[in-house]
Structure 1
Amino acid sequence: MTGEAVCFREHAIDLGVPAEVILLEPNATNTGQNITLAREVLAAAGIHPATVLLVSKPYMERRSFATARKLWPGVKILCASESLEFDEYLKSVGDEKLVLDMLVGDLQRVIEYPGLGFAIEQEVPEDVRAAYESLIGDGFTSRLIAS
Structure 2
Amino acid sequence: MISAVSAKDLEDAQVIWDYHLMHHQSEPADVGIGLGSHDLGVATFAVKLYHEQLFPMIVFTGATSRTTAARFPRGEAVHYRDHAIELGVPSVAIRIETNATNTGENIALTRDLLAASGTPVKTVLLISKPYMERRAFATCQKVWPEVRAICASQPIGLNEYLASIGDPKLVLDMLVGDFQRVMEYPALGFAIAQDIPDDVETAYRRLISTGYTSRLATT
Structure 1 equivalent of residue 14 of structure 2: none
Q: Which runs of 5+ in 2 are unaligned?
A: 1-72
User: In structure 1, what is the Cα distance between the partners aligned to 2:207 and 2:126?
Assistant: 28
Give, in angstroms, the shift of residue 36 of structure 1. Answer: 0.5
User: In structure 2, what is the Cα distance between the partners aligned to 1:57 and 1:121?
Assistant: 20
Per residue, is there more strand in 1 or in 2?
2
Per residue, is there more helix in 1 or in 2?
1
> Which of these residues, 115, 132, 146, is aligned with residue 60 of structure 1?
132
> Which of these residues, 95, 113, 117, is aligned with residue 189 of structure 2?
117
- Helix, strand or coil: the match of 2:150? strand
Structure 2 equivalent of residue 69 of structure 1: 141
Give, in angstroms, the shift of residue 18 of structure 1. Answer: 2.2
Between 6-15 and 37-46, report the one with greater CA deviation. 6-15
Which structure would you say has the larger RCO, counting Cα contacts within 8 Å and 6 or more residues apart? 2
How many pairs align?
147
Amino acid at match of 2:153: S
Identity over aligned residues, as a percent? 61
Amino acid at match of 2:119: I
Equivalent positions of 1:7-46 (< 5 A) are 7-46=79-118
Give, in angstroms, the shift of residue 21 of structure 1. Answer: 2.9
**TM-score normalised to the size of structure 2?**
0.65
Give, in angstroms, the shift of residue 50 of structure 1. Answer: 0.7
Over 3 Å counting, the alpha-carbon distance change for 1:16 and 1:94 in structure 2 is closer
**TM-score normalised to the size of structure 1?**
0.95
Give, in angstroms, the shift of residue 42 of structure 1. Answer: 0.5
Structure 2 equivalent of residue 84 of structure 1: 156
CA RMSD of aligned residues (A): 1.1
- Helix, strand or coil: the match of 2:173? helix
Between 98-107 and 52-61, report the one with greater CA deviation. 98-107
Q: Which runs of 5+ in 1 are unaligned?
A: none
Between 121-130 and 7-16, report the one with greater CA deviation. 7-16
Question: Are residue 146 (structure 1) and residue 218 (structure 2) matched?
Answer: yes
User: In structure 1, what is the Cα distance between the partners aligned to 2:158 and 2:88?
Assistant: 31
Amino acid at match of 1:142: S
